Amino acid sequence: MRLGVAGLGLIGGSLALALRKRHEVRGYDVARETRDVARAAGLGIVDTLEALLPADAIIVATPMTAVLPTLAALVPRAGSAVLVDVASVRGPVDAFAREQSGRARFVGMHPMAGRSESGFAAADPALLIGRPFLVVPTATSDAPAMAIAGEIARDAGGVVTVCSAAEHDRIVALVSALPLALAAALSIAASDDEADVSSFAGPGYRDTTRLALTAPDIAEPLLLANSGNVVAAIARLRAVLDELERAIAERDAAAVRAVLARAAEARGRLG
């Protein structure tokens, strides 16, 4: 297929590097420096968004705040190209697609992958191998468009799961936004201690707080654009913490063990 990738950060860059093995891939980024680095890495690079077209599909992998403006700019020239975006919150794109019915075909394709580093320098096709790709239909997604999104996901090394926008956003609130919120809260709680605990931190603390380093342009939209689901997820976490706090305060060993056993069982399902 002839593919365009708009946005060559961590995810867009990783997708472009992975997909060029099987497809004709052209990339674009608003930052000239990023385009130059991606070109030096051997990617086919164009200097305007419109130059990605014509194509079988355009993958919009910009920061989340730029996804809708980028899609809107592509719609008038999209033609038969499927507009695939990797936004980590589906509700706004789902609403936009309904408004654009008949003008273009939209499909969500969210790779459940990432790392704290951002930008093309952090891009790595290995980041996507074996990762879940949530493929999310919109009101404009026909069968051929869904097939193209699925093929892109699989050719990038992903494992495809199809779900609704509502289910996607509920899942992402629990497995992406909530860990980010917890990492931020833990980092602040520990640093507010009277003593500087950072020099004593072991791998457990470092692993648990890693997401506090997430770039603000990724973290803030992940929390705010899906606020209803994120608030509900935080409430679920608070309920478990309250339960554990009570058990500890009451020195109830059986209750503590019960919470820890549930936690170990849940974590064990990750493999």
pLDDT in tens, 210-266: 999 988 888 999 999 999 999 999 999 999 999 999 999 999 999 999 999 999 999
Determine the pLDDT at residue 4. 98
- Rounded Cα–Cα distance for residues 21 and 128 (Å): 14
Superfamily of chain region 168-268: 6-phosphogluconate dehydrogenase C-terminal like domain (1.10.3660.10)
**Is CATH 3.50.20.10 what the domain over 2-163 is classified as, yes or no?**
no
Determine the pLDDT at residue 210. 92
Domain positions in the chain: 2-163, 168-268
2-163 with 168-268: one CATH topology? no
Q: Which residues of the chain have pLDDT under 70?
A: 193-196
pLDDT in tens, 151-174: 999 999 999 999 999 999 999 999
User: What pTM, to 2 d.p., does this model score?
Assistant: 0.89
Do 158 and 151 form a contact (C-beta atoms < 8 A)? no
